[in-house]
Amino acid sequence: MTEEEREPGQHTSLNAPAEANVAAMPAGAARSGIYSWLRDLMISIIVSAFIIIFLYQPVRVEGTSMLPVLEDQDRLFINKIAYRVGSIEHGDVVVFLYPRDHAKSYIKRVIALPGDDIRIEQGTVYVNGNALKERYVPLRYTDDRSQPDMIVPPNDYFVMGDHRSISSDSRDFGPVDRSLIYGKAAFVYWPMDQMGVVR
């Protein structure tokens, strides 16, 4: 049918709106949707806050004393509940308040526990008379420092950095009191090529 053959009132347009088949949403339903979204947002914030405050906390590594396990500017999560329900073990990588300035935090590896006998001879660490096999310390990061024989005091932990030649640790500031240790290094999440469990 051509334009001339159409009856009056039959003209069509490609831009004419289609017939509405859906009723408008009541104002009450819209408000309910907003309230539901806000509720979900608040729950997410509360859960995230709980995780950060009580379970896991993101931190940034500053320095190279824990190379090659942790690099400068790595981002990782620390487990804040690990030592509330469990004990600190040899080899754990822990985060603690620097004994000489509680405004700073350090991250080091636990080498000796309370009551352990520790000494260091030309870079070789002996705990309870046994030389440690420290696979986490590459040869190029070793040093030849020595430490006189000592018994780690009760409630204290002897910690050291894996990059022995540059690390400031218990060889310098002494064992760390248990009350200063507040987390266990758990998982590197950034950068992507470093992602993985801290061992």
Catalytic residue among 13, 48, 65, 146: 65
User: What is the residue-level pLDDT of the chain in tens, covering all 199 positions?
Assistant: 443 334 444 333 434 444 444 445 555 666 777 888 888 888 888 877 766 666 888 999 999 999 999 999 999 999 999 999 999 999 999 999 999 999 999 999 999 999 999 999 999 999 999 999 999 999 999 999 999 999 999 999 999 999 999 999 999 999 999 999 999 999 999 999 999 999 9
Please answer whether residues 159 and 127 qualify as being in contact, where contact means their C-beta atoms are separated by less than 8 angstroms.
no
Residue spans per domain, the chain: 59-197
User: Quick check: is 108 catalytic?
Assistant: yes
Catalytic residue among 80, 108, 170, 184: 108
Residue 114 Cα distances to 57, 89, 117, 175, angstroms: 26, 10, 9, 9
Longest dimension (CA), the chain: 110
Query: Which of 151, 146, 169 is closest to 159 using CA atoms?
Result: 169
Place of tokens 């320095």: 63
User: Quick check: is 65 catalytic?
Assistant: yes
Residue 157 Cα distances to 105, 153, 176, 182, angstroms: 15, 8, 5, 13
The architecture of the domain spanning 59-197 is Ribbon (2.10)
- Which residues are CB-contacts of 56 (< 8 A; sequence separation ≥ 6)? 77, 78, 79, 80, 186
